Chain A
């Protein structure tokens, strides 16, 4: 069975569903290394996003993910690590 992946597209989709698009474009373009707060997503948006990821992928994310993964690249990486652990 192939391991599920979590990509920028997935993050974008789930952020939009749960928290909408900020004025100014959100995750469009090369925002991979931009701080979420600069993109227009606060900690509550990340909490909502984490909750939706947990439901969709059947995983439990460490609470530290929201505090530590402050950019899309870090967030995608952290979710990927959890998926790898749960698939192992």
Chain B
């Protein structure tokens, strides 16, 4: 007996919109948040574009006690968690502490904070390094700070599987809820648009060095030349369907299926899709839309397109990649895709994939620059992490 696990709250921080309302109103009409990187002087780096979140003033949202001890990624995470809880109509103070958990994914931890402290270390000496460096850099810090701020002492943790983490964290939350935890804050926010983070991102060899925002990130396009990096992501409130029903919560939908695979002799993405559908007890024909990983790297695009054609047939299912409007947010991207899929279901609208002109040879029914109206009851979200991680998650309205 496996209990149904549902999503009752969304908290979104994205380059093209801060908060669910702003994000969705931008995303549904194809408004991109990609532009020149302004956080530091990037003119001498190969990649110069990014999806930056503008207009985020931490002091407006968080007590000053939290500011000296947090990186930007943790501030964004704390605010996304606050918004998700408010959206779910949950007051953590009213619930038993051990019935609530926090499970996030992270690709880099608090990079900018660390950069500043390491600069103090080599330029001024160890006595100038903040005591808060002890945890502010850490992958698990977003989970920890959300847990402390909201008094959540139930099962918690962090998943580090690069972009796949956004799905893997939500899957882990689903496991904990099935084992008896009432509520889990789950998802991912990443933010590493500092010069040290930027150097690290370049090592993947997958950053686009195209300088025109409309041409830099073109998945499934013959001009594909890598991706643009962005910051942000989403946190979701997961509950058992029973407890959501008991408190009369509004439900976005269900986490109906999930699977993770690792690349071996063959790419593992198709297997992840098949296993996730099996886990959801659904057939390919049940799926109304796919949110693609959309690497925008020829070989990876080919592998993803082949997996989708193998499972769904030639142009067999609408495919979209709204991350073309935000850049890849690493672990944050897949979590944001989950949130976006629920918003798509609510409106009956598949958001666009901007800028891309899909190559015919991929055989995909890619939703282009115009959003498409459709009744969406089931969505499949795909994510791949650097080094061979593949994850697939099936959502049902």
Contact = CB atoms under 8 A, between A and B. Distances in A.
Interface of A: 16-23, 26, 40, 44-45, 47-48, 51, 54-55
A47 B130 CA distance: 9
Interface of A is mostly: helix
A51 B221 CA distance: 54
A67 to B, nearest CB: 14
What 10 A-B pairs have minimum CB-CB distances, sorted nearest first?
A20-B64, A48-B131, A20-B65, A47-B131, A22-B65, A23-B63, A21-B64, A44-B131, A20-B68, A20-B67
B179 to A, nearest CB: 31
A44 B65 contact: no
B63 A19 contact: no
B397 interface: no
A50 to B, nearest CB: 9
Contacts of B2: none
Interface string B110-136: 000000000000000001101110100
B233 to A, nearest CB: 25
Q: How large is the interface on B (under 10, 10 to 19, 20 to 34, 35 or more residues)?
A: 10 to 19
Interface string B46-79: 0000000000000000011111110000000000
Contacts of A19: 65, 68-69
B131 A51 contact: yes
Contacts of B66: 20
Contacts of A55: 127-128
A16 B67 CA distance: 11
Nearest to B128: A55
A40 B69 CA distance: 14
Interface string B11-54: 00000000000000000000000000000000000000000000
B362 to A, nearest CB: 51
Contact of B63 (A20, A51, A54): A20
Contacts of B65: 19-23, 26, 40
Interface in B157-179: none
A78 B127 CA distance: 20
A54 B130 contact: no
Given A19-B68, A20-B66, A47-B131, 15 more contacts: A16-B64, A19-B65, A19-B69, A20-B63, A20-B64, A20-B68, A20-B69, A21-B63, A22-B63, A23-B63, A26-B65, A44-B69, A44-B131, A48-B132, A55-B128
